[in-house]
Structure 1
Amino acid sequence: MRRAVVRGGAGMAGALAALVLMTAPAAAHVTVNPKDATQGGYAKLTFRVPNERDNAATTQVEVNLPQNTPIASVSVKPTTGWTVTATKSTLDKPIKNDDGEITQAVTKIVWKADSPATAIQPGQFQEFDVSAGPLPTTDKIVFKALQTYSDGDVVRWIEEPAADGKEPAHPAPTLKLAAKATTGTAPAGTGATGDTGTSRASVTATADEQARSRANLGLGMGTAGLVLALVGVVLAGLAWRRRPA
Structure 2
Amino acid sequence: MRRAGWVVPVLVAPLLLAAPANAHVTAVAPDAAPGAYTVVTLRVPTESATASTVGLEVDLPRDQPLAVVRNETTPGWDVVLRSTRLSTPIDNGHGKKIGEAVSTVTFTARDGSGVAPGEFAEFRLLLGPFPESGVLTLPTRQTYSDGTVVGWIEQSVDGTEADKPAPEIRLTGGGHAGAHGNSSPPAVAAAAPSGWSDSAGLAVSLVALVIAGLAFFVRGRRTEPPAPTAR
| TM-score with structure 2 setting the length | 0.70
The answer to whether the 8 Å contact 1:47/1:128 transfers is yes
- State the partner residue of 1:123: 118
The answer to whether the 8 Å contact 2:33/2:130 transfers is yes
Taking structure 1 as reference, are residues 206 and 57 closer, same or farther at Cα in structure 2, changes over 3 Å only?
A: closer
Taking structure 1 as reference, are residues 137 and 192 closer, same or farther at Cα in structure 2, changes over 3 Å only?
A: closer
User: Where do 5+ consecutive residues of structure 1 fail to align?
Assistant: 1-15, 182-189, 197-204, 222-245
User: Where do 5+ consecutive residues of structure 2 fail to align?
Assistant: 1-9, 184-193, 211-231
RMSD of aligned Cα (Å): 3.3
Whether 1:77 and 2:72 are equivalent positions in the alignment is yes
Q: Percent identity?
A: 35
Q: Secondary structure of the equivalent of 1:212?
A: helix
The equivalences for 1:15-54 within 5 A come to 23-25=17-19, 26-34=21-29, 37-54=32-49
| Alignment match of 1:65 (pick from 60, 63, 67) | 60
Taking structure 1 as reference, are residues 171 and 100 closer, same or farther at Cα in structure 2, changes over 3 Å only?
A: same
Deviations 1:19-66 (A, max 9, x none): 97x953414010111266211011011111100001101110010001
User: What one-letter code is carried by the residue in structure 2 that aligns with 1:62?
Assistant: E
The answer to whether the 8 Å contact 1:36/1:175 transfers is no
| Alignment match of 2:147 (pick from 119, 139, 152) | 152
Say which structure is richer in helix. 1
| Alignment match of 2:169 (pick from 150, 175, 181) | 175
Deviations 1:91-121 (A, max 9, x none): 1221124232111011100000011x21000
How far, CA to CA, are the matches of 1:206 and 1:124 in structure 2?
Answer: 14
The answer to whether the 8 Å contact 2:31/2:181 transfers is no
- State the partner residue of 1:99: 95
Deviations 1:63-96 (A, max 9, x none): 0001000110111111000000011101122112
The answer to whether the 8 Å contact 1:28/1:50 transfers is yes
The answer to whether the 8 Å contact 2:49/2:117 transfers is yes
| TM-score with structure 1 setting the length | 0.66
